[in-house]
Amino acid sequence: MRDISRSSGFPPAAKHQWNAWQDRGQGDLPSPDAEPDEKEDLAAKHIHVLMVEDSEEDCLLILKQLRRSGIEAAYGRVETAAQLGNTLLDGGWDLVVADYKLPSFSAEAALEICREAQLDIPFLVVSGSEGEEIAVRMMKAGASDYIMKGHLHRLVPAIEREMRETAQRREKRRVEQELLKSQQWLSAVIEASRDGIAVLEGRKFLFANPAFIELYGLCHPEELIGRDIAGVMGSEAHQQFENWERQRHRGAGRLTLSEVRSPGKDGHWLELEASVSFATVAGKDFLVVVVRDIRDRRRLEEQLRQSQKMDAIEKLASGVAHDFNNLLTAITGYSQRALQNLLPDHPLRAELGEIQKAADKAASLTHQLLAFSRNQPVARRIVDLNAIVLDMQRLLAPIIGSHIEVRTFLAESLGQVKADPDQTGQVILNLIVNARDAMPNGGKLTIETADVEFDEEAARHHGRLEAGPWVLLSVSDSGCGMDPETQSHIFEPFFTTKAVGKGTGLGLSTVYAIVEQSGGGIWVYSELNRGTTFKIYLPRVDRSPDECSSSAVLPDDAKASETVLVVEDDETVRHLMLQVLARRGYTVLEARHSEEALRICRMQAGPIHLLVTDMVMPGLNGQDLAQRVLELRPSIRTLFISGYAEAALIHQGVQDRREMFLQKPFSPTVFAAKVRATLDRQESSSLVP
């Protein structure tokens, strides 16, 4: 037996046998490079044939027959079962041709070895043994054909037929495998889809993916299969189905997106976006429905609309507060000065006192406008929410009234929050007053605090809040409650359900703005005649409360000797500040705008100790003016003032320690004290607005 190892892309035994045949001078067999002498119209084929044959001469005879038919063949020859098994493992064979009977082997045994190797290649028996019974037995065992050596003219057609059928089988298996792979991919995509996918025949469900099953709170597909669409998706979906059917009869293949409300699990209504198409399989019509839960998207869209609306009104509120604060500064200042100049028993003191009260109420309103516009000056520090609640409860006891029972449940060892104490108190005040107004005939007011921890699922349910630790403030009442329509508007500015003159409509919008500004979130739960609960979540911080030190009231200095440059474009406010400073002994320089202020700084021979400037003016703003003045007079200090909301942010970015900020409206006493404090401030002092 020759070596049957392979090289150069052919089974090596075949190559060796081919060369050996040429060496023996068999000139009647064409060389591999020669054109076939018969059937020149048949394109040459290259096949690898494995011969199970003890006679090399018979192998060459078969090979010659193939060459004459235009088939180029390389071959290998084996004689035993072991050789056959090892050679089949090498692979690369297109055809097995076996003699029926060998000295130590047989075609039946060779066929069994080929079957065990699970190779899809033709197995032909070429034998000198006659007998129809043998041929029938071999064909039943799985042989492709049985050809007598005396009829080799049948060999080539049989080979072509069997190789063609083998190629067809292989192609069929390839297509089936590709189809199976495609089906597996499609199944995996449908199973993994977060959108619900269902197939219906008529009005009955035939299939649903896990997302569709979960959407309706079912456990297994069997709970859905065969059920009517109305029983699963509700009457609205059923009506929509009839509309789909009408469109299908009009020839629509794929429908546009539809929105459908459908009863989901736990009694909640689903808001679905449905994409529908029709398919015909084996003569039957099917409806393919893809649904997506759009409740989260609806919430985000509503939040975006609310944010855009709030942004527009915030800008309006900011501008209104600016002009209003200038007026209030003048009203408060001149009325206070008038009161100081009147004797205690003067009859006008009562009227001026009422003006002062009205101005104070108006100032409170501008603070609400600034808080609503999220531009109010904020002084955040670590605070104890329980302490603020108790202080506000004691302060508001007379306002709440004895007809309302107040219950307080404050968590022990409550986590700290970082917030502006005044704004936090304003939040509690507004919620308590809102609860009181909802219970005109009495009821129960409950205030609670607690530490809460959000996991990822809870955080997702609460919108933009992140997973982690939070502090909860809850204010509940047993009052009249609200319907869903009212609840959708309560945080809008100037929206109120109170009678004319009973409310500004800024209370809850201010609460919303302050909570958002503090990095928290607010939710409301209410039912008509069942009461209302507001839940506020603020970020929890792991620090102890800051030590609160009361600010010392600066004494009124009537012997001041410094020079102060006042820059203010509002004439009334400017004159008020000039009078206040002049009465206390300051040398006062007056400028209506930034250019005039710079001219004074260049021309003034003596020192200028303090620049008092409005933040928002025509030309240069206050901050740019202060920088230009500092270049001319490096030792000057600056006090910024403004009634504009944006100024609330300016002072947070001021870097020079000599600069301070005063928010309008202010009284003459507060203004004078702030001027004195700015002049007396040490270089090492930290900036505090």
Q: How confident is the model at residue 528 (pLDDT cuts 50, 70, 90)?
A: confident
Mean pLDDT of the chain: 77
Q: What is the mean pLDDT of residues 271-294?
A: 81
CA–CA separation, 655 and 627 (whole Å): 11
Residues written for the chain: 689
Q: What is the 3-state secondary structure (H, E, C) of 322-376?
A: HHHHHHHHHHHHHHHHHHHHCCCCCCHHHHHHHHHHHHHHHHHHHHHHHHHCCCC
> Parallel, antiparallel, or unpaired: how do β-strands 563-567 and 587-591 relate?
parallel
pLDDT value at position 284?
82
Q: How confident is the model at residue 254 (pLDDT cuts 50, 70, 90)?
A: low
Give me 503's structure tokens.
């409310």
What's the pLDDT score for residue 39? 40
* Class of 12-169 in CATH: alpha beta
432 exposed, middle or buried (CB, 10 Å; 0-12, 13-18, 19+)?
Answer: buried
pLDDT of residue 299: 78
Q: Would you say 540 and 471 are in contact if contact means Cβ atoms under 8 Å apart?
A: yes
Pairwise CA distance, residues 591 & 575, whole Å: 11
User: Is 301-370 a domain of CATH 1.10.10.10?
Assistant: no
pLDDT of residue 613: 93
Query: Is the model's pLDDT at 662 over the cut of 90?
Result: no
* 525: pLDDT strictly greater than 80: yes
With a CB cutoff of 8 Å and minimum separation 6, the contacts of 367 are 376, 426
pLDDT at 257: 67
pLDDT in the model for residue 558? 52
Closest by CA position to 399, among listed 364, 365, 437: 437
Asked whether residue 430 carries a pLDDT value surpassing 70, the answer given is: yes
User: What local confidence, expressed as pLDDT, does residue 630 receive?
Assistant: 92
Tokens of 670: 């507060």
Residue 269 gets which letter from DSSP?
E
- CA-nearest of 667, 671, 665 to 365 is 665
Classify each residue of 190-221 as buried b or exposed e, where b means 16 or more C-beta atoms within 10 Å of its C-beta.
beeeebbbbbbeeeebebbbbbbbebbebeeb
Q: Residue 158: pLDDT above 80?
A: yes
pLDDT band at 625 (very low <50, low <70, confident <90, very high): very high
pLDDT surpassing 60 at residue 476:
yes
At 607 the pLDDT is: 92
- Whether pLDDT at 587 is above 70: yes
Strand order of the sheet with strand 284-293? 204-208, 196-201, 284-293, 269-281, 258-263
pLDDT band at 527 (very low <50, low <70, confident <90, very high): confident
Please give the class, per CATH, of domain 193-293. Answer: alpha beta
- Looking at per-residue confidence, does 280 or 367 come out higher? 280
Name the one residue in this structure whose structure tokens are 């009973």: 502
Average pLDDT value for residue range 54-76: 86
Architecture of domain 563-680: 3-Layer(aba) Sandwich (3.40)
Q: Is the pLDDT of residue 277 over 80?
A: no
315: pLDDT strictly greater than 80:
no
CA angle 603, 604, 609 (to 5 degrees): 140
Least confident of 116-130, 191-205, 319-333, 495-509: 495-509
∠291-295-301 over CA atoms, to 5°? 120
pLDDT score at 369: 58
Quote the distance between the C-alpha of residue 477 and its chain's center: 35
Which pLDDT score, from 0 to 100, does residue 310 have? 64
192-196, 313-317, 428-432, 561-565, range with the lowest pLDDT:
313-317
Q: How far apart, in whole angstroms, are the C-alpha atoms of residue 687 and residue 689?
A: 7
Distance CA 615, CA 619 (A): 11
- 517: confidence class by pLDDT, cuts 50, 70, 90: confident
Tell me what pLDDT residue 638 has.
92
The CATH 3.30.450.20 domain(s) of the chain lie at 193-293
Say which DSSP state 408 is in. E
* CA gap 641, 616 in Å, rounded: 9
Contacts of 405 (CB under 8 A, 6+ apart): 442, 443, 444, 445
Q: What is the CA radius of gyration of the chain?
A: 48
CATH superfamily of 385-541: Histidine kinase-like ATPase, C-terminal domain (3.30.565.10)
Residue 498, pLDDT above cutoff 60: no
Ranked by mean pLDDT, which of 237-241, 447-451, 620-624 comes out on top?
447-451
Which range, 29-33, 270-274, 390-394, has the best average confidence (pLDDT)? 270-274
Q: What pLDDT sits at residue 629?
A: 93
What is the reported pLDDT for 190? 79
- Note the pLDDT of residue 328: 76
What confidence category does residue 586 fall into, taking pLDDT thresholds of 50, 70 and 90? very high
Q: Where in the chain is the domain with CATH 3.40.50.2300?
A: 12-169, 563-680
* C-alpha to C-alpha distance for 232 and 68, rounded to whole angstroms: 73
Kindly state the percentage of the chain with pLDDT values over 70: 77
Q: Which of 149-163, 227-241, 408-422 has the lowest mean pLDDT?
A: 227-241
Q: How far apart are CA 168 and CA 122, in angstroms?
A: 13
| Nearest alpha-carbon partner for 518 in 457, 458, 428 | 428
- Cα–Cα distance for residue pair 566/588, rounded to 1 Å: 7
Q: How confident is the model at residue 652 (pLDDT cuts 50, 70, 90)?
A: very low
- Contact between residue 479 and residue 439 where contact means Cβ atoms under 8 Å apart: yes
Quick check: 475 and 534 in contact, CB under 8 A? Answer: yes
Q: What is the pLDDT of residue 454?
A: 81
Least confident of 345-354, 380-389, 571-580, 589-598: 345-354
Mean pLDDT on 467-486 = 87
Predicted pLDDT at 489: 75
Of 89-103, 308-322, 433-447, which range is least confident?
Answer: 308-322
| Residue with token string 């600066």 | 554
Query: Does the N-terminal peptide bond of residue 665 adopt cis geometry, omega within 30 degrees of 0?
Result: yes
**Strand pairing partners for 201?**
204
Q: CATH 1.10.287.130 occupies which residues in the chain?
A: 301-370
Per-residue pLDDT reduced to its tens digit, 17-40: 434 333 433 334 333 343 444 343
Token pair belonging to 107: 């075609």
Residue 551, pLDDT > 70, answer no
Where residue 256 falls among pLDDT bands split at 50, 70, 90?
low
C-alpha distances (whole Å) from 471 to each of 163, 426, 451, 491 are: 79, 17, 5, 21
